[in-house]
A and B are shown apart, each in its own frame.
Chain A
């Protein structure tokens, strides 16, 4: 059935007569598919041209406005394809329904809704595509929209320089469901990432996930009801600040994982977040890394280096407030990657406040903490790379962390010792590093 072109007719000498080849090619320079010149504001059947309806931005000037209607898929996807660089594509209040992943591949386009609770992009009926929205062009801003119930990921930014997620909501209505999608906001292999004022609830992996990226800001956002609230994975120079991360299985994860093209993520500056009651039963799907994370964790550093975790309020996480571990074979298996360094090194944890953590630990945390009750606020697995050379930024430093008026408690679980000898003496790790700079 693949041979319909050949049959038995013979080929003739190659020749394709295009009377206007030169003309045609000139037109190609400007890019096929966008010559129709039809992005005038309003258009047939459109309502409104400028300003949007009830937009929160105030001074947004819409190049074109798309309203919800009876074929949202075609209307919105066509607008995204026909947008020109620099356009502001606005979406009116109302519920838009989609069956296929939406994609945007035009640089510096702003997608602007009338508010996360007013302009709703509903993906419950989606049958094609792994994301609700995929953005593949640089410098895109997406703001003031609500994304509901995508079967896969919410909004993915794929290999882009510059992307802003602002005042968005990505919500899976079902609570703690394996049927919900994996990531809410999902920039990967990208740089200059800004996530601000967003809310993500219900992801069966990470609500806000940034992978293999650089120069990242996540601020003023809320993540709850996810397996992981916020995850920084194999990424460098992230700042995670002023977020409210609560009622997830684990709050904020700073992970470095093997077998990924981008390795050696480092320098996440995680500060001034409220990380509270992350005690949700883990509903991740077996086989994913987060499915192995015990419930009740506030902040977790896995095999990642040179991070600064400071001035966070870490409250009521039942297993442990903050834990630093290597890529534990017992938990994750062998990394199977010769280029991978599995030890967390050079991290600096300071000036955080802890209260009510570690009071009802999961069995895994309990079993590796030498019977301490409650579990100390900060735990390090105590494993040290035997091949490491001290470059002045090797040990993990802990300083001035408080639990009420007292110092926060600490334990070195000596997990790699045989047998382990758990110690709560922080003398050897009381030190400090130069603070990391803020992003931008």
Chain B
């Protein structure tokens, strides 16, 4: 694509549609379509359909044979988008398990995450509009992020580097009609969350996030056990109950655990040593429990922005005076947290963290 003027997306788009007719996304076939054959040639491909991650109608997002869906206990808030997550491994290759965040994926692995909006989030059987699919591809030099923007016809998605803004409307869980300008990130912005110590990392697939129950064929199973049974790993796994796990932040586990799981999922990719927010000194990985590192009575020395007139990141017992809650509640780019890419405060997350701070032994920090 040219770095100069021009309808960059439009040009590629037309090409994509032309190819589709002969492409692998066999649109309305009742019987099983001929197996999709991934495109030949170097990655990344121009179109999402080139990869053959899905079978049948592309917009149904039905994973193709051998492609593994997974779910996390604590999700990153993405302005209300629903997300589907997939692991794609090269044939015959497996993942080396770690009890923490350091799962080792084989060269050629791809993590696929698709973002969509249901017409009505109270009823997930209502039609959804798929907006974007993000890939992380593991090559010799590490993981590389790619972004595919879906077309209005929902027939395919085209690779974009510069990102996009898309107007979406939906009815939220509480039944309220909502509208927003959803941000599809540019490919540099992948790194603003995924990069740590100059290396691009996975943020979702690790033990605490995946050690949770999932429903498979009508039965509830432990996800790690199930993935192991399916042959995801190259070795035996420890018993799932011996491994640590994040609770559902909005479930009924202990409040402290739920709050830390939420902060880990939404903040710790930056707020940890080596992360984008490492220079702030605020550390929000779930297992860092030194109060000042978590922000308790810590002044926001380095950030300089968006205190809302408050003195401390967390004032125990007083969420209204805590910068953390103030910044999570903002949509001002200068103030809001996380910085990227979402724009809309996560009301449930704000309520959770407020409840967590309220429950701390009160102190004025003075």
Chain A residues with CB under 8 Å of chain B are 1-6, 8-21, 23-29, 31-33, 35-36, 38-39, 42-46, 64-67, 69-71, 73-83, 89, 99-101, 103-105, 126-130, 134, 136, 151-153, 158-159, 181-183, 188-189, 205-206, 209, 211-212, 233, 257-262, 285-290, 332-334, 336-337
Point out the residue from A79, A89, A188 that lies within 8 Å of B302, measured CB to CB: A188
Contact B137 A205 (CB under 8 A): no
* Distance of A1 Cα from B12 Cα, bound (Å): 32
Pick 11 A–B contacts, CB within 8 A, sort by A: A3-B71, A4-B61, A15-B91, A45-B4, A81-B161, A103-B186, A158-B276, A257-B302, A260-B302, A285-B308, A336-B297
Stretch at the interface among B21-29, B187-195, B350-358: B187-195
Least CB separation from A335: chain B residue:
B299
Given the contacts A128-B341, A158-B276, A260-B279, A289 and B75 also touching, CB distance less than 8 Å: no
Complex interface: chain A residues within 8 A of B217 (CB):
8-10
Contact A6 B214 (CB under 8 A): yes
Taking A11-B69, A136-B191, A261-B273 as given, write out 5 further A-B residue pairs in contact, using a Cβ cutoff of 8 Å, ordered by the A residue number.
A5-B69, A14-B89, A43-B4, A82-B161, A151-B332
Complex interface: chain A residues within 8 A of B64 (CB):
16
Least CB separation from A291: chain B residue:
B307
Complex interface: chain B residues within 8 A of A103 (CB):
186, 188-189, 191-192
Q: B8: CB under 8 A from chain A?
A: yes
Q: Chain B 10-44 against A: per-residue CB contact (8 Å), 1 yes, 0 no?
A: 00000000000000000000000000011011111
Contact A212 B302 (CB under 8 A): yes
Given the contacts A4-B84, A182-B334, A67 and B5 also touching, CB distance less than 8 Å: yes
Point out the residue from A18, A23, A104, A287 that lies within 8 Å of B307, measured CB to CB: A287
Contact B340 A129 (CB under 8 A): yes
* Distance of A183 Cα from B279 Cα, bound (Å): 15
Complex interface: chain B residues within 8 A of A182 (CB):
303-305, 334
Given the contacts A211-B302, A288-B300, A23 and B42 also touching, CB distance less than 8 Å: yes
Q: Distance in Å from the Cβ of A92 to the closest Cβ of chain B?
A: 10
Contact B162 A73 (CB under 8 A): yes
Contact A333 B1 (CB under 8 A): no
* Distance of A419 Cα from B299 Cα, bound (Å): 29
Complex interface: chain B residues within 8 A of A4 (CB):
61, 82-84, 116, 124
* Distance of A75 Cα from B7 Cα, bound (Å): 10
Q: Distance in Å from the Cβ of A177 to the closest Cβ of chain B?
A: 12
Contact A127 B5 (CB under 8 A): no
Q: Distance in Å from the Cβ of B200 to the closest Cβ of chain A?
A: 10
Complex interface: chain A residues within 8 A of B303 (CB):
182
Complex interface: chain A residues within 8 A of B174 (CB):
none
Contact B309 A287 (CB under 8 A): yes
Contact B339 A129 (CB under 8 A): yes
Q: Distance in Å from the Cβ of B228 to the closest Cβ of chain A?
A: 11
Complex interface: chain B residues within 8 A of A332 (CB):
299
Least CB separation from B366: chain A residue:
A333
Least CB separation from A332: chain B residue:
B299
Complex interface: chain A residues within 8 A of B42 (CB):
23-24, 26-28, 35
Q: B72: CB under 8 A from chain A?
A: yes
* Distance of A294 Cα from B75 Cα, bound (Å): 44
Complex interface: chain B residues within 8 A of A12 (CB):
65-66, 230
Q: Distance in Å from the Cβ of B215 to the closest Cβ of chain A?
A: 6
* Distance of A80 Cα from B187 Cα, bound (Å): 11
Contact B75 A19 (CB under 8 A): no
Complex interface: chain B residues within 8 A of A42 (CB):
4
* Distance of A258 Cα from B139 Cα, bound (Å): 40
Q: B231: CB under 8 A from chain A?
A: yes
Q: B175: CB under 8 A from chain A?
A: no
* Distance of A233 Cα from B299 Cα, bound (Å): 15
* Distance of A126 Cα from B333 Cα, bound (Å): 8
Q: Which of B245-303 contact A (CB under 8 A)?
A: 273, 276, 278-281, 292, 297-303
Complex interface: chain A residues within 8 A of B311 (CB):
286-287, 333
Point out the residue from A11, A35, A36, A258 that lies within 8 Å of B230, measured CB to CB: A11
Contact A262 B5 (CB under 8 A): no
Contact A8 B332 (CB under 8 A): no
Given the contacts A259-B292, A259-B299, A45 and B6 also touching, CB distance less than 8 Å: yes
Contact B304 A11 (CB under 8 A): no
Complex interface: chain A residues within 8 A of B162 (CB):
73-74, 77-78, 81
* Distance of A211 Cα from B300 Cα, bound (Å): 13
* Distance of A26 Cα from B323 Cα, bound (Å): 47
Complex interface: chain A residues within 8 A of B3 (CB):
38-39, 43, 46, 64, 66, 75-76, 78-79, 82-83, 89
Least CB separation from B296: chain A residue:
A336
Q: Which of B330-347 contact A (CB under 8 A)?
A: 332-334, 339-341, 343
* Distance of A313 Cα from B153 Cα, bound (Å): 67
Point out the residue from B70, B232, B281 that lies within 8 Å of A14, measured CB to CB: B232
Contact A77 B292 (CB under 8 A): no
Complex interface: chain A residues within 8 A of B37 (CB):
17, 19
Q: Distance in Å from the Cβ of A275 to the closest Cβ of chain B?
A: 21
* Distance of A65 Cα from B89 Cα, bound (Å): 41
Contact B332 A29 (CB under 8 A): no
* Distance of A212 Cα from B67 Cα, bound (Å): 44
Q: Distance in Å from the Cβ of B100 to the closest Cβ of chain A?
A: 21
Point out the residue from A5, A78, A260 that lies within 8 Å of B70, measured CB to CB: A5
Complex interface: chain A residues within 8 A of B333 (CB):
101, 126-130, 151-152
Given the contacts A11-B230, A13-B231, A261-B278, A206 and B218 also touching, CB distance less than 8 Å: no
Point out the residue from A1, A28, A334 that lies within 8 Å of B82, measured CB to CB: A1
Complex interface: chain A residues within 8 A of B308 (CB):
285, 287
Q: B317: CB under 8 A from chain A?
A: no
Least CB separation from A68: chain B residue:
B5
Complex interface: chain A residues within 8 A of B361 (CB):
none
Given the contacts A128-B333, A129-B340, A259-B298, A28 and B141 also touching, CB distance less than 8 Å: yes
Contact A288 B304 (CB under 8 A): yes
Closest 5 interchain pairs by CB?
Answer: A28-B139, A27-B42, A5-B69, A287-B307, A79-B3
* Distance of A105 Cα from B107 Cα, bound (Å): 23
Contact A8 B231 (CB under 8 A): no
Complex interface: chain A residues within 8 A of B292 (CB):
259, 336-337
Complex interface: chain A residues within 8 A of B309 (CB):
285-287
Q: Distance in Å from the Cβ of A378 to the closest Cβ of chain B?
A: 26
Q: Chain B 316-335 against A: per-residue CB contact (8 Å), 1 yes, 0 no?
A: 00000001000000001110
Least CB separation from A151: chain B residue:
B334
Q: B132: CB under 8 A from chain A?
A: no
* Distance of A16 Cα from B68 Cα, bound (Å): 10
